[in-house]
Amino acid sequence: MAPHVPHVPVATDEEDCREDHGGCEDSTGLTGARTITSRACRVCKVSCLVLGLLVVAMLILLGTSGPQSSGLKAWIVKASSDLSLAAESLSPPVPELGSTATAALERRGTATGLCRNGKFKNAPRIRKEWRELTKRELRAVQNAFWRLKGFSRRKSGGNAAGYAPDSNWDTTEKGIAKCKELNQGVRKRDQNPYCEYFTNYDEMAALHACSVKDPRCDQGHTGPHFMNFHRMVILKMELALMAADTNRPIQVTAIPYWDQSLDSEDPIGRYRNAPDKYIFSENYFGDFWGKPENDYAVVNGLFAEWPVAIWTEERFGSKSKLANQSKCIASEFFKGTVATADDCGDGYTATRWFRDHVECSEYVARQPNDPNGPQAYGPLGGHYGIVYSKEEFEACSTYPENVRTWMQWNTCQDPGLFFCDVPRDELLLLPVRDQLRDAIVPALKDRVTKSIKEIEKALKGGDTPSMPIEDPVETGKLLKRLTVANALAALLWTLSTNLEASADTQALLQGIANICDDPMVYGYFTKLNEERSFPRMQHGQAHFKAGRDFLDVTTSANDCGQFTQHADEDRSNMRFMLLSLRKNYRLEENWWDYPRTQFDVLSNGKPPYGLSGPFTTAGLLACQTDFDTFPFYRWLAGAWTPGTLLRDVVNSGFPFIDLFNSSCPEDEDCSGRQNGGYTNQEIMYYVHPSRTPYTYDTLAQYFDPDCELA
């Protein structure tokens, strides 16, 4: 059994900051005339080095993965040297001949629809943060979530949240029919126009699980498709929630999103100490710490006692109705996990839960110090709770200073970290040590050496003019970078020496401890630099910190409240898109540099790469090692996971169709059916600011239906 690989962290590559000249200039080495001193970029540079190193931790997990380990060891060592070669030997990009439909899409994609005042002429639905909902809206959203689950509110006799099963709504077909029935006799403008979109909650969760278990490797995470996949899941959920609203007129106007910075422990988020507004309270998602005496179930809040489905063939497998719209379901890529009395104690009846890990609770469970999670050895970033700020959100979505391409945005969401939550003695296992010694550390040492040389050169004034820099501010910044680079160098050299002298276990452990003092990587940088500006991972953090059900990448959608955090990821990506459109049309014309071919590797720098790739380390860990589940995956066979390029259908094992009807012009076909589901390119086209059917409250100022087109 491969070890459980939690959700998605990504090691940023230092080259991210350097390769694109202009906005995000090299931070520890100054290569161009322009010295952009974006803090986040500088931090990126440094952290990238550390993050690169942390990727190794993935390999640690690999190295400890059981009987195959020794065979794998030789393979890993070889693969890591192949990795550099593979990137260099790929031929340069070849022009592609698209289909006529694709060519038309290409042309349409360049119409930005920007008005004279720099806004977009459409009126999308506005998604609000959970705490911005009125009491009525909040109740409507809660009712709608439960109804998708097949539950209705009860005055008495309901569960801890006040709901009980309701057979009027417990399948997709019944929900659609019931919604339509309720429209009868209601005047037109008060009817619910979304009935067709009703989709049972667990069917949407099954779709999410399908992405992870696709035999080609993950079709929803750890790659460029991550955002497009999740924005479709959230959009499908949003339309379903609206369909499930029985108010007339409907009160659910969009899906809410969860901005985790508001609940942060450090800095203290706006609602962290507000008993009525804190997200992990009975008013919203229920307690952050599930009840140990109830198998860590969440038993209060809007979704108290939210049942986890039982996996059966009739419901989620080849015998289900879904099987004819989903290869994944028909072939049973995912079959749930059985919990037995061995796991759960005497008297427990074996149950095949809709989960990819063993859990005993029949309800959604949460445990920040989950023994199988990254906080088992202590809190990440100093707190078991969220550590994330608004500034960090902005840093990761600010074009061009911090993120300049699709993959740079992607890479900013999930800084890598697996290293520090593995028991220290396991870190000493041979494959890991060899990998560190032979591949990763030498590569990193080279980079640091180069950076130091460049900074020193810049301090002397560079090649021309050969004059020392006189600007004291500039000099100060350079010196600071030099300090950081030297500190990193020291760390790497110590580690490397210890690796050579492998007898010195204590010293090696100490070297590792130095890196892991604060496993939220940014913390390491913070310590060196005496400032706190590196964006801590937005996406992975929420999963890591909750533990249990939300940690389980396959079935994280089981925790419906926290799952709305993915809408906040979307908010970040849309902000990046909007800012870039205002400044650089070229990026949009090029589909934000989304990888089109297996040769598109340059926008993400050079190896070692992070979890999302190119040459995704997640693929190496989660898929290459599990041939039974992922028979169609070969690490290094291409730069990107098959199925995730620009023109590939997103999650084709269980594709998305018909989600853009409301924003579709009459003369266009927006169904996504031409290709058997939306492609990445189509999704980016349909959520383009000039035609997106939804946006976010914080981005609403970019839209103005009354504006005049330029």
According to DSSP, residue 649 is labeled B
Nearer to ligand NAG, 177 or 636 (CB): 177
**Tokens, residue 644:** 């995730």
Furthest C-alpha separation in the chain: 84
Nearer to ligand NAG, 306 or 660 (CB): 660
Contact call for residue 701 and ligand NAG (CB under 6 A): no
Q: How many residues does the chain have?
A: 710
Bridge partners (DSSP) of residue 115 are 709
Kindly give, in sequence order, each residue whose CB lies less than 8 Å from that of residue 249, ignoring residues fewer than 6 positions away. Answer: 189, 190
Q: Is the dihedral of CA 182, 185, 188, 190 positive or negative?
A: negative
Nearer to ligand NAG, 184 or 324 (CB): 324
What residues numbered 304-363 form the site for ligand NAG, per CB under 6 A? 324-325
Nearer to ligand NAG, 82 or 658 (CB): 658
| Structural element, H or E, at residue 22 | none
Among 638, 710, 652, CA closest to 682? 652
Q: Is there a contact between 246 and 237 (Cβ–Cβ < 8 Å)?
A: no
- Residue showing the smallest CB distance to ligand NAG in the complex: 196
CB of 85 to ligand NAG, least distance (A): 44
- Rounded to whole angstroms, the Cα distance separating 208 from 219 reads 9
- Rounded to whole angstroms, the Cα distance separating 298 from 433 reads 41
- Rounded to whole angstroms, the Cα distance separating 386 from 562 reads 12
Nearer to ligand NAG, 287 or 658 (CB): 658
Q: Is there a contact between 349 and 362 (Cβ–Cβ < 8 Å)?
A: no
Nearer to ligand NAG, 65 or 661 (CB): 661
Nearer to ligand NAG, 88 or 196 (CB): 196
CB of 658 to ligand NAG, least distance (A): 4
**Tokens, residue 271:** 């609602």
With CB under 6 A, what is the number of residues at the site for ligand NAG?
8
Q: Is there a contact between 598 and 558 (Cβ–Cβ < 8 Å)?
A: no
What residues numbered 530-549 form the site for ligand NAG, per CB under 6 A? none
Among 256, 291, 28, CA closest to 144? 256
CB of 671 to ligand NAG, least distance (A): 4
**Tokens, residue 10:** 């990504």
Contact call for residue 171 and ligand NAG (CB under 6 A): no
Nearer to ligand NAG, 196 or 517 (CB): 196
- Rounded to whole angstroms, the Cα distance separating 210 from 479 reads 50
CB of 632 to ligand NAG, least distance (A): 23
Bridge partners (DSSP) of residue 365 are 297
CB of 654 to ligand NAG, least distance (A): 12
Among 88, 173, 190, 196, binds ligand NAG (CB under 6 A): 196
Binding mask 639-658 for ligand NAG (x = CB under 6 A): -------------------x
Binding mask 658-677 for ligand NAG (x = CB under 6 A): x--x-------x-x------
Contact call for residue 197 and ligand NAG (CB under 6 A): yes
CB of 598 to ligand NAG, least distance (A): 31
CB of 192 to ligand NAG, least distance (A): 12
Residue with tokens 């997103």: 650
Nearer to ligand NAG, 240 or 620 (CB): 240
Q: Is there a contact between 493 and 445 (Cβ–Cβ < 8 Å)?
A: yes
- Rounded to whole angstroms, the Cα distance separating 2 from 626 reads 7
Nearer to ligand NAG, 190 or 668 (CB): 668
**Tokens, residue 170:** 């417990």
Nearer to ligand NAG, 283 or 326 (CB): 326
For residue 241, give the 3-state DSSP assignment.
helix
Q: Which residues are near ligand NAG by CB under 6 A?
A: 196-197, 324-325, 658, 661, 669, 671
